[in-house]
Amino acid sequence: MVKTTDVLYYAVHVGELRSIIQWQTWHQAVHERRPDQEAPSLTICFEFLDKTSRSFSAVIQELHPELLVPIALFYLILRGLDTIEDDMTISLEEKTPLLRDFHNYVEKEGWNYAGSGPTEKDRELLVQFQNVTEEFRKVKPAYREIIKDITLKMGNGMADFCQNVEHNIDVVNTIKDYDLYCHYVAGLVGNGLTRLFVESGLANPVLLDRPHLQESMGLFLQKTNIIRDIKEDLDDKRRFWPKEIWSKYVNNFEDLCKPENREAALNCSSEMVLNSLNHADQCLFYLAGLKEQSVFNFAAIPQSMAIATLELVFRNPKMFEKNIKITKGEACRIMMQSTQNLKLVCEVFREFTRKIHKKNTPRDPNFLKISIACGKIEQFIETIYPSQDPKSIIQEPAAPIDPTSKEAKDQAAAAESKSDLVYMLIAVFGTLFLISCIMFGVAYAFGARFDVAFSELTRGKLSKPTDAGAAQSIIHKYDRGEL
């Protein structure tokens, strides 16, 4: 449904409207799903995928056929796990074993769970989870092992977290705790996906040797979402911002959203943004290891969205008032740029990094650190795509210039603009000279005594005589030849 506010927005943001139209008319999926050849249970799985995730569903469905089903099921399994973890109506005694054994349930024929609270939005997925388990049993054993392993680790991490929450309200105390929490909910996903990509032969196996890159892929997304969702999480009594950071700015976590603390809250969010921004260059590095287009798109789109979101929340007071998100038009433009190659993704990163840098202010206590983080991203992009090509600089004088080549044309254009500049300067100074002549001429016609003025100037009298009488006497002296 189209809202009036949207119509107004896109009436003044024509560029964004253009992006939406272009994305919807020109975007072609790299691979297409074949619903006609799917088992009914798989079709149900994809329906759930659409319902549970708006942003991920589309990119997952365009994945290479080899990974399409494993990754879709991987997503649904983690979503199921997440739904149980989030559900406050399930007691800890029931929840903990569910989370810790979830990796076994996913293979159990006909397993499902109806104990979720009635208002839980993904309750239905668990109620009909037998469709997921049925399909999961058909997945290649190698992929199944990877997914089960991640489910086991994540389930245990979540169970630990839930037990801590039960005993203590501030679970995420230090930045280390924060990183650990993000590791369980997102870093592990990065690890699992990398193993799936490499197992299927669609990514460079070197990625397996770089666990910190996989970790960064997950953490960059998770941390950015945690920053953006501050208001929503606070309203739901969830807190993920580490105490180590927020306690520097406010006394109580709830104070972050109070209007009187806006400046402190903004500075606090800057430190959160900085913490997230430090993962950005490693995400680009990771993306360089993905060869297959659909896998690249799948991994790159969320990263580009994350850097755009980070820019949106950076020093934006609205984040403490309501839930903010990037506009659809901007999302479409980013998706278009992120579904081609790494160079364009780097452009997206550079664009938003510079926007963040523009908003950075010296009054922010994290000013220089943010500046350094932005500089690091720029430097990294420069190392993989140098703006200067050393070969071309060395070869330049030797290579004969082809008059039809782009360089020759550029040179001709440059020479032309240079001569244009010269002509313009001549015109400007010519006009000034002419006007000066006219002014002097008019002054002369009205009887100005330039000869007197000049000789007085050479004698070091720079200021004009104090009154008309003094001026007159000077002229008299001059005319009588007394000087």
Partner 1 sequence: MATSVLITGGAGFLGSAIVDAVQEQHPEWVVTVLDLAFPSVRKPNIIYKSCDITNSVSLNTLIDSIMPDVIIHSAGLVPELAFRYGREQRDRVFDVNVNGTRNMLAAAKRSGVKAFVWTGSCTAITDDMRHQYRNIDERPSVLFGPGDYQLIPSVHACIAKGETPFVVGDGENLWDVTYVGNIADAHVLAVENLLSTGSAAGEAIFISNEEPIPFRDFCLEVWKNFGHFPAYQVYIPVSLAYVVGYLAEGVTWVTGTPTTLSRGSVFDACGIRYCTGEKARKILGYKPRVGIEEGIRISCIVSLRKFLNPSILP
Residues of the shown chain interacting with partner 1 in the complex, contacts defined by CB under 8 A: 354, 357, 360, 362-363, 367-369, 371-372, 375-376, 378-379, 383
Rounded CA-CA distance 106/104 in Å is 5
Pick between residue 415 and residue 475 the one whose CB is nearest to partner 1: 415
Min dist CB 340 to partner 1, Å, is 25
Pick between residue 251 and residue 379 the one whose CB is nearest to partner 1: 379
Tokens, residue 225: 């979402």
The string over 310-339, giving b where at least 16 C-beta atoms fall within 10 Å of a residue's C-beta and e elsewhere, is bbbbbbbeebbeeeeeebbbbbbbbbbbbb
Rounded CA-CA distance 185/208 in Å is 19
Tokens, residue 311: 């820019």
By the 8 A CB rule, do 53 and 102 touch? no
The string over 172-185, giving b where at least 16 C-beta atoms fall within 10 Å of a residue's C-beta and e elsewhere, is beeeebbbbbbbbb
By the 8 A CB rule, do 182 and 224 touch? no
In the residue annotation, 298 being an active-site residue is answered as yes
Pick between residue 262 and residue 369 the one whose CB is nearest to partner 1: 369
Tokens, residue 220: 């960059």
By the 8 A CB rule, do 96 and 167 touch? no
Q: What single-letter amino acid sits at 4?
A: T
In the residue annotation, 238 being an active-site residue is answered as yes
Q: Single out the residue of 116, 109, 77, 73 nearest to residue 94, CA to CA.
A: 116
Pick between residue 323 and residue 379 the one whose CB is nearest to partner 1: 379
Min dist CB 384 to partner 1, Å, is 12
Min dist CB 379 to partner 1, Å, is 5
Q: Single out the residue of 130, 71, 82, 127 nearest to residue 105, CA to CA.
A: 130
Pick between residue 325 and residue 354 the one whose CB is nearest to partner 1: 354
Q: Which residue has the tokens 């740029």?
A: 337
Q: From the candidates 136, 181, 197, 320, give the one annotated as an active-site residue.
A: 181
The DSSP secondary-structure symbol of 207 reads: G
In 3-state terms, what secondary structure has residue 290? Answer: strand
In the residue annotation, 181 being an active-site residue is answered as yes
Length of the chain: 483
By the 8 A CB rule, do 134 and 77 touch? no
Pick between residue 6 and residue 378 the one whose CB is nearest to partner 1: 378
Tokens, residue 347: 């452009």
- Residue 290, strand partner residues: 203
Q: From the candidates 238, 262, 315, 354, give the one annotated as an active-site residue.
A: 238
By the 8 A CB rule, do 353 and 278 touch? no
Q: From the candidates 79, 195, 228, 333, give the one annotated as an active-site residue.
A: 228
Q: From the candidates 143, 298, 314, 320, give the one annotated as an active-site residue.
A: 298
Q: Single out the residue of 160, 132, 126 nearest to residue 44, CA to CA.
A: 132
Pick between residue 144 and residue 354 the one whose CB is nearest to partner 1: 354
DSSP H or E segment with residue 140: none
What lies within 8 Å, CB to CB, of 419 at 6+ separation is none
Pick between residue 124 and residue 378 the one whose CB is nearest to partner 1: 378
List Cα–Cα distances, 134 to 73, 108, 112, in angstroms. 10, 8, 11
Give catalytic residue positions.
Answer: 181, 228, 238, 298
